Amino acid sequence: MSQKCCCVPGCVESGESHPVLHLFPNPDRYPDRFRSWVLAVGGDIILFSNKYIHANRRVRHRHFEEKDCCRYNKLSQLAIPKKYLPEDNFVFCHEVEKLMEKMGLPKYSPNDWRLFIDSSKRSLKCVLLHNGNKYGSIPIDHSTQMKEEYDTIALVLKKIKYYEHQWVICVDLKMVNFLLGQQSGYTKYPCFLCFWDSRDKKTHWVQKEWPKRENVVVGQKNVINVALVEQ
> Which residues of the chain are modeled with pLDDT < 70?
1-4, 12-17, 43-44, 86-89, 122, 145, 231
The answer to whether residue 29 is domain-embedded is: yes
Q: Of the candidates 86, 117, 137, which is a domain's last residue? A: 86
For position 14, what pLDDT does the model report?
47
Contact at 8 Å (CB) between 182 and 192?
yes
Whole-angstrom distance, CA of residue 80 vs CA of residue 113: 38
Residues 32 and 135 in one domain: no
For position 4, what pLDDT does the model report?
64
Whole-angstrom distance, CA of residue 28 vs CA of residue 162: 44
Per the structure, the complete domain to which residue 23 belongs is given by: 1-86
Q: Of the candidates 38, 53, 86, which is a domain's last residue? A: 86
Whole-angstrom distance, CA of residue 101 vs CA of residue 13: 18
Q: Of the candidates 86, 113, 129, which is a domain's last residue? A: 86
Residues 76 and 158 in one domain: no
Q: How many domains does the chain have?
A: 2
Residues 66 and 35 in one domain: yes
Whole-angstrom distance, CA of residue 157 vs CA of residue 173: 18
Give one word for 84, left, alpha or beta, with left for phi > 0 and alpha for psi -120 to 50: left
pTM for this entry: 0.62
For position 17, what pLDDT does the model report?
58
What's the length of the chain? Answer: 231
